[in-house]
C-alpha cells in the first residue's frame, strides 16, 4: 500500500511535469509512515530531526501536492492548524464519534451514498468526496 501510493505520486508528478526530488521522496516517506491526522508542523519536526536541511516551506508545499495527487486530504480541527490524513482507496468517511470517550466507529451505508448522489444531481453538483459524522454517546459511555 505504501508502494502503490509512491507509484501514484510518481505518475501524478509525471503527468504534471513535476520533478522528482530527494525532499519530496523524504516527505512522502514520512507522511506515509504516520497515522491519524498529522499537522504540517508536527510532520516538519519529525523530518527535521533526521533531515535537518529540509525547510518547513517545502513541507507545506509538498503536502499540498499530495492533496492534488489524491493521496491526502486536509482536515480542519479547531486547534488552528491544518492537518492532513491519508486517503485510502474505496474509503468512506462516515463516523460515529463518541463525545464521551472520543472513540470512533466507522460505518458504511450504500443507501446514504445513493441519496447523496441524488441530492447532488438535483443541485447540478459534481461530488468529489464527502464526510459524515454523527456525534453522540457510544454504548459504554451511555451506561
Partner DNA sequence: TTATGTGTGAAAATGAATTTCAAAAGCAAG
Partner DNA sequence: CTTGCTTTTGAAATTCATTTTCACACATAA
Check residue 61 for interaction with a second copy (CB under 8 A).
Answer: no
Binding segment (CB under 8 A) for a second copy, from list 17-25, 36-44, 58-66, 117-125? 117-125
Check residue 136 for interaction with a second copy (CB under 8 A).
Answer: yes
- Which residues are paired to 72 by β-bridges? 86
- Report the partner that residue 54 touches, choosing among a second copy, DNA, none (CB closer than 5 to 8 A by kind): DNA
Check residue 19 for interaction with DNA (CB under 7 A).
Answer: yes
C-alpha distance from residue 19 to each of 9, 86, 94, 105 (Å): 11, 22, 36, 40
**Least spacing, CB of residue 22 vs a second copy, in Å:** 29
First-to-last alpha carbon distance for the chain, in angstroms, is 39
Check residue 11 for interaction with DNA (CB under 7 A).
Answer: no
Packing angle between helix 56-68 and helix 40-50, nearest 10 degrees?
A: 120
| Binding residue (CB under 7 A) for DNA from 36, 80, 110, 143 | 80
Here the cell at position 119 is 441530492
Q: For a second copy, which is the closer residue by CB, 53 or 136?
A: 136
Packing angle between helix 22-32 and helix 40-50, nearest 10 degrees?
A: 120
- Report the partner that residue 39 touches, choosing among DNA, a second copy, none (CB closer than 5 to 8 A by kind): DNA
| Binding residue (CB under 7 A) for DNA from 60, 73, 85, 96 | 60
Check residue 82 for interaction with DNA (CB under 7 A).
Answer: yes
Check residue 116 for interaction with a second copy (CB under 8 A).
Answer: yes
Cβ atoms of 46 and 54 within 8 Å: the answer is: no
What's the rounded Cα separation, in Å, for the pair 19 and 35? Answer: 27
Amino acid at each position: 500500500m505504501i508502494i502503490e501510493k509512491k507509484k501514484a505520486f510518481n505518475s501524478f508528478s509525471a503527468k504534471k511535469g513535476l520533478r522528482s526530488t530527494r525532499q519530496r521522496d523524504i516527505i512522502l516517506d514520512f507522511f506515509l509512515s504516520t497515522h491519524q491526522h498529522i499537522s504540517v508542523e508536527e510532520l516538519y519536526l519529525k523530518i527535521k530531526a533526521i533531515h535537518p536541511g529540509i525547510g518547513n516551506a517545502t513541507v507545506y508545499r509538498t503536502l499540498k501536492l499530495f492533496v492534488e495527487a489524491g493521496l491526502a486530504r486536509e482536515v480542519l480541527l479547531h486547534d488552528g492548524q491544518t492537518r492532513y490524513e491519508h486517503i485510502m482507496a474505496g474509503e468512506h468517511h462516515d463516523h460515529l464519534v463518541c463525545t464521551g470517550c472520543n472513540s470512533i466507529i466507522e460505518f458504511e451505508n450504500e443507501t446514504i451514498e445513493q441519496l447523496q448522489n441524488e441530492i447532488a444531481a438535483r443541485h447540478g453538483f459534481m461530488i468529489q468526496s464527502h464526510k459524515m459524522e454523527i456525534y453522540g454517546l457510544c454504548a459504554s459511555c451511555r451506561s
